[in-house]
Structure 1
Amino acid sequence: MSNHNHQQVDFELLGKYLSGEATPEEGVALDNWILDAPENRKLFDQVSVIWNQAKQQQGHQLPDKEKLLHEIKAHLATAKVYPVRKRLYLSSIAAVFLLLAAAAIYIFFFREREQVIRYVNRATGTGIYRDTLSDHSLVVLNSNSNIKYPENFKRTLHLTGEAWFDVTSDQENPFIVSVGDIYIKVLGTSFNVHQQQKTIEVAVKTGAVMMYRDNQQIIVKADELGMYNVENHLFKLDSSFNVNSIGYVTRIFNFENASLKEIVAQLEKAYDITVVFENKKLENCTMSSPFENKSIKYIFEVISITLNVECRIENNTVYISGEGCN
């Protein structure tokens, strides 16, 4: 797409882009083509106008392709040529080109609509959802999050919220996650994506990923944190990240002077339990301790001894009581 001659534009890609069916990579390719030259931007804007007008006129009905082709031929037949006044001649050619472009992508738009694309939606409430995709990649969806991808999964999906990905390696087919207005591209790795109101963070445990938007990009390697500022559209790289941020998946924690309220919030997600403070004052007790894939019984025994509290486990609920805080 990065060709300054706007006549090299891919009409099929334009159709998918305007209909919202372009893949993340195709969307980036078209965005880059638009930015390559003012002529490209002008052409895209003009085609978009024709597209929207035709869409409003057709409503939900499929267009009569033969009639549309007849109209294009009629327009070509009536187009005037001014051999001396070169600018007017070029304007006529440009107008015909625009009509052809709009017609081609519009026909493509409705032709694709005839083939209904079915999507898989996975959403969570307060719990965590694990999903193994058709390529054997693992997704762990954190609470209050959502992923969406076509039933005919082609290693591209959209995320809202937070999720952990353990992606199977496929050198020829990169795995792409779209979140907010950026994309994350990987070949095979494990990483966490956390979308927040002002930032999008990607913590990489193994391998490497590329975070990109338009012509900006950063490479995030193992044990690094990539950050994207939603307001100023800038990327930033940090040399490390807090292991507790992905503890809901790994069950590896390193609590340092953390309040008991903060600790149990992490444990509730990781172990799918509910913790009840029978004495609310205990929420402010603080402690430091690492836990790596320990049982919930072991963890609360450590908490009991360290903070002089009583932890009672009944099914999936833990009750914390006592005077507490040594």
Structure 2
Amino acid sequence: MKEDRFTELLAKKMTGELSADESAEFNKLISVNKSYRAEYEQLKDYWAQEARTYPNMQGILAEIKEQAGITQQQTRSYAWIGRTAAILFLTISAVFAYRFFLSKEKFNETTVSWKEVKASSGQVLKLTLADGSRITLNSESGIRYPEVFSGQSREVHLDGEAYFDVAEDHDHPFILHTQEMDIRVLGTAFNVKSYKNDPVKEATLFRGSIEVNLPGLQDKKLKLKPADKIKINGSAYELGKMAYYNAGDQNSMEILWMDNQLAFKNESLESIAHSMARRYGLKMIFNNPATKKLKFSGSFEKETISEALNSLQTVTPFTYKIQRDSVYFY
């Protein structure tokens, strides 16, 4: 039933017939279900290419109707329902057409061999995709990608943080899916930080251009230029610029992790603790809410967790205790 409801809302979305409540329901569905979001994105691409011609179109349409269970009598029955139902019928037919062509051209994920790579605590991994795109994966991050790209786009899924140097291919856009955003590129370099337990997600562009789509924010689309940075916090987003720890630095703070540096500038202790947890493989537990809000600037590379925390204590006093695999803040 949920699948049928999504198809109905998807059809209305494509025809601009969604009410305000239905729009909110649709956005919630695609924000929590990656397969729904992927189908919506791919259908939009298919819709945009409706001018493409196929051989034996009459035969194909007949086969689509047969697969969808659509009869001539059913088609006529829509005439008295009204304009909205007719548009809905035509759009649902288009959905069936999209799925038909998807299977004909083997875009279906079930025909693709997918790989998953995960970096453990304190580990940074590098990998190269089949198209030549290079990816550097930060600690406790995972990426899912096809062994060989097929179809009209190159799509991968990220949970965590990674730096992407995407191989240029104007015929096959590269699309990165995360929990809060979808990023579409042709050939470019950018960093994405999207850990599930971090309240703020972000993307920073270093070369080329990217289009950031925010499914949870009414499908808001933003185009970033080099040095642009977007931060997303729940239902709000903020545009800014990449930052440097010191004037004259070669690398921005957003990618210092690639050099095994943990750098932060005027960040809350809670945010710093998230990064430390991934770096040192520890749990961070706050027993005093006020301690979370303390702000610090600093940079660590080879320090132990005790050395790093002791260094922060010299700036603003706080109390902590390390017990087995956990750090307790008081």
The TM-score with structure 2 as length reference comes to 0.51
Unmatched runs of 5 consecutive residues or more in structure 1 = 7-16, 33-65, 287-326
Indicate the larger mover: 86-95 or 123-132. 86-95
1:96, 1:254 → 2: CA distance?
A: 55
Contact 2:262 2:301 in 1 (8 A): no
Match of 2:60 in 1: none
Match of 1:158 in 2: 157
Cα distance, 1:69–1:199 mapped onto 2, change above 3 Å: same
1:103, 1:155 → 2: CA distance?
A: 23
| Pairs within 5 Å for 1:158-237 | 158-196=157-195, 197-213=198-214, 215-229=219-233, 231-232=234-235, 234-237=236-239
1:24, 1:79 → 2: CA distance?
A: 25
1:109, 1:198 → 2: CA distance?
A: 36
2:149 matches 1:149: no
Residue deviations 1:146-189 (CA, integer Å, cap 9, x gap): 11122222532111111111122233332221111421122222
Residue deviations 1:16-75 (CA, integer Å, cap 9, x gap): x9975956742555899xxxxxxxxxxxxxxxxxxxxxxxxxxxxxxxxx9x949958x5
Cα distance, 1:18–1:175 mapped onto 2, change above 3 Å: closer
Taking only aligned residues, the RMSD between alpha carbons, in angstroms, comes to 5.5
Cα distance, 1:239–1:105 mapped onto 2, change above 3 Å: closer
1:187, 1:281 → 2: CA distance?
A: 45
1:223, 1:276 → 2: CA distance?
A: 31
Match 1:275 to one of 304, 315, 318:
304
Residue deviations 1:239-265 (CA, integer Å, cap 9, x gap): 33353331121567877799xxx7x95
Tell which has more relative contact order, 1 or 2 (C-alpha 8 A, sep 6+): 2
Cα distance, 1:104–1:283 mapped onto 2, change above 3 Å: closer
Contact 2:261 2:300 in 1 (8 A): no
Give the greater-gyration-radius structure (CA).
1
Name the amino acid aligned to 2:207: T
| Pairs within 5 Å for 1:1-326 | 4=15, 22=38, 25-29=41-45, 69=66, 72=69, 76=72, 87=80, 116-126=111-121, 127-153=123-149, 154-196=153-195, 197-213=198-214, 215-229=219-233, 231-232=234-235, 234-242=236-244, 243-250=252-259, 275=304, 277=306, 281=310, 284-285=313-314
1:272, 1:181 → 2: CA distance?
A: 30
1:228, 1:78 → 2: CA distance?
A: 46
Deviation for aligned residue 1:285: 4.7
Contact 1:225 1:241 in 2 (8 A): no
Q: Percent identity?
A: 23
Name the amino acid aligned to 1:87: W
Contact 1:227 1:237 in 2 (8 A): yes
2:157, 2:312 → 1: CA distance?
A: 37
Aligned length: 237
Cα distance, 1:105–1:218 mapped onto 2, change above 3 Å: closer
2:241, 2:113 → 1: CA distance?
A: 40
1:5, 1:149 → 2: CA distance?
A: 33
Cα distance, 1:250–1:170 mapped onto 2, change above 3 Å: farther
DSSP-derived class of the 2:42 partner? helix
Contact 2:134 2:166 in 1 (8 A): yes
1:227, 1:114 → 2: CA distance?
A: 30
Contact 1:217 1:235 in 2 (8 A): no
1:205, 1:91 → 2: CA distance?
A: 45
DSSP-derived class of the 1:161 partner? strand
Contact 1:220 1:237 in 2 (8 A): no
Contact 1:24 1:176 in 2 (8 A): no
Deviation for aligned residue 1:142: 0.9
The TM-score with structure 1 as length reference comes to 0.51
2:90, 2:45 → 1: CA distance?
A: 22
Cα distance, 1:24–1:120 mapped onto 2, change above 3 Å: farther
